[in-house]
């Protein structure tokens, strides 16, 4: 297992289009997190799953955003009707213990033009 994988690494889309990102966590990790990071800021929490259950969603996650983790394995984050303000780095992380930190993927950089 080589860590947390995110696909694609980069995505350029036109305003109004829908986009979907995928995250493959470390296989034995039961928790999976989505964060968003903009330039000069720290990562902002979006949502997290324990196995297939979505336990918490941030107020940042408007109704245009939806995340799934079918069967408690990989996860997808979909953004509908993208806006320029959605341009950011979207980070996925997985963990099985707080003390050993969360392992982040390299992120998907979204640019909405």
Partner 1 sequence: DQQVKQNSPSLSVQEGRISILNCDYTNSMFDYFLWYKKYPAEGPTFLISISSIKDKNEDGRFTVFLNKSAKHLSLHIVPSQPGDSAVYFCAASRGYGKLTFGQGTILTVHP
Selected binder of partner 1 within 17, 18, 73, 97 (CB under 8 A): 97
Q: Does 104 bind partner 1 (CB under 8 A)?
A: yes
**Cα separations in angstroms, 93 against 25, 41, 57, 80:** 7, 17, 15, 22
Q: Does 53 bind partner 1 (CB under 8 A)?
A: no
Choose between 85 and 99: whose C-beta lies nearer to partner 1.
99
Q: How far is the CB of 79 from partner 1 (least distance, A)?
A: 19
Say if CB 81 and CB 64 are below 8 A apart: yes
Q: What is the C-alpha separation between 13 and 24, in angstroms, rounded?
A: 22
Q: Does 91 bind partner 1 (CB under 8 A)?
A: yes
**Footprint on residues 57-86 left by partner 1 (CB under 8 A):** none
Choose between 56 and 83: whose C-beta lies nearer to partner 1.
56
Q: What is the C-alpha separation between 46 and 38, in angstroms, rounded?
A: 13
Within 10 A of 21 (CB to CB), how many other CB atoms are there?
A: 20
Residues that bind partner 1 (CB under 8 A): 4, 31, 33, 35, 40-45, 48, 56, 91, 93, 97-107
């Amino acid at each position: 297992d080589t860590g947390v994988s995110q696909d694609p690494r980069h995505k350029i889309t036109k305003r109004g289009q829908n986009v979907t990102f995928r995250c493959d966590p470390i296989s034995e990790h039961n928790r999976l997190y989505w964060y968003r990071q903009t330039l000069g800021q720290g990562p902002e929490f979006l949502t997290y799953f324990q196995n297939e259950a979505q336990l918490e969603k941030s107020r940042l996650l408007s109704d245009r955003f939806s995340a799934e983790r079918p069967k408690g394995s990989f996860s997808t984050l979909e953004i509908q009707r993208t806006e320029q303000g959605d341009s950011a780095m979207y980070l996925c992380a997985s963990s099985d213990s707080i003390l050993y930190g969360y392992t982040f993927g390299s992120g998907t950089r979204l640019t909405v033009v």
